[in-house]
């Protein structure tokens, strides 16, 4: 028997009143809705500095646009873009999580522009990650991000369902009268999102740049942490791995073999 239950009246009221958007983060709202928009957090000078780093990287031969992903741009921790992790403002934000012991799972850029305009299907991040399930994404816009250029769309409360047991495009099976949130985000703002939250992004209709940092954080002691941003790790277990090293026959490996076989 299939059943879905959500507190629609409560969630819709919180979205309608835009309780998720403020210059002070509300951890109760973050827990209830699964995301929060923190306004006017970064200085224009700071965001401008990292936008310049991104612009320089974009025209460099090292620019690493992931070919099998709709929006992902990778870069190393030696790239100037990674300096955002150690800015005082960023550390001030993440100090509110995991009792101030914060580790990095991943940092990347997700971008749309005149080259990449496609929408991103409804999904949750947690199934594509390893380590614990207690983690967040911090989206930091380097440009204005809105409905016209393919900004993020959040399904409030969907993180409460937890990990769905599989990955890929989620069928939009939730009640049609559940409000969706598509906040307009400006440079100097940021979004904190629970990694279990269902979310997506629309088509970039304008071709104008829509560029976010997507920084995944977890407890510093999480075995999957790549580095400690703040506090102490004190971890007995560590796992930074290559899929082909750990798995003999994973779902992803089988899919890769299948797609390769169709091309031969």
Domain ranges of the chain: 8-262
176 in Cβ contact with 8 (< 8 Å)? no
Whether domain 8-262 has CATH 3.10.129.10: no
- At a CB cut-off of 8 Å and minimum separation 6, what does 207 contact? 113, 114, 117, 149
1 confidence band (pLDDT: 50, 70, 90) = confident
Q: Is the pLDDT of residue 241 over 80?
A: no
Q: What is the pLDDT of residues 4-23, one digit of tens each?
A: 999 999 999 999 999 999 99
Strands (E), 113-158: 120-123, 135-141, 152-154
Q: How far apart are CA 95 and CA 249, in angstroms?
A: 39
User: What is the pTM (predicted TM-score) of this model?
Assistant: 0.94
What confidence score (pLDDT) does residue 191 get?
Answer: 98
């Amino acid at each position: 028997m299939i059943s879905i239950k959500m507190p629609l009246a409560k969630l819709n009221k919180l979205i309608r009143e835009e309780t998720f958007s403020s210059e002070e983060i509300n951890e109760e709202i973050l827990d209830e809705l699964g995301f929060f928009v923190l306004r006017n957090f970064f200085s224009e000078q700071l965001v401008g500095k990292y936008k310049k780093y991104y612009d320089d990287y974009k025209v460099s031969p090292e620019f690493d646009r992931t070919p099998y992903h709709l929006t992902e741009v990778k870069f190393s921790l030696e790239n100037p873009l990674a300096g955002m992790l150690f800015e005082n403002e960023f550390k001030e934000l993440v100090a509110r999580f995991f009792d101030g012991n914060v580790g990095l799972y991943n940092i990347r850029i997700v971008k749309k522009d005149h080259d990449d305009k496609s929408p991103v299907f409804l999904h949750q991040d947690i199934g594509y990650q390893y380590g614990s399930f207690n983690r967040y994404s911090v989206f930091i816009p380097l440009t204005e991000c809105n409905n016209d250029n393919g900004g993020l769309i959040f399904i409030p409360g969907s993180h409460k369902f937890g990990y769905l047991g599989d990955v890929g495009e989620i069928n939009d099976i939730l009640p049609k009268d559940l409000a969706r949130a598509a906040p307009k985000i400006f440079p100097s703002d940021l979004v904190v999102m629970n990694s279990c939250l269902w979310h997506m992004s629309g088509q970039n209709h304008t071709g104008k740049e829509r560029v976010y940092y997507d920084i995944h954080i977890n407890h510093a002691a999480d075995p999957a942490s790549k580095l400690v941003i703040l506090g102490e790790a004190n971890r007995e277990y560590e796992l930074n791995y290559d899929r082909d090293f750990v798995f003999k026959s994973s779902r992803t490996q089988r899919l890769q073999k299948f797609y390769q076989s169709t091309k031969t």
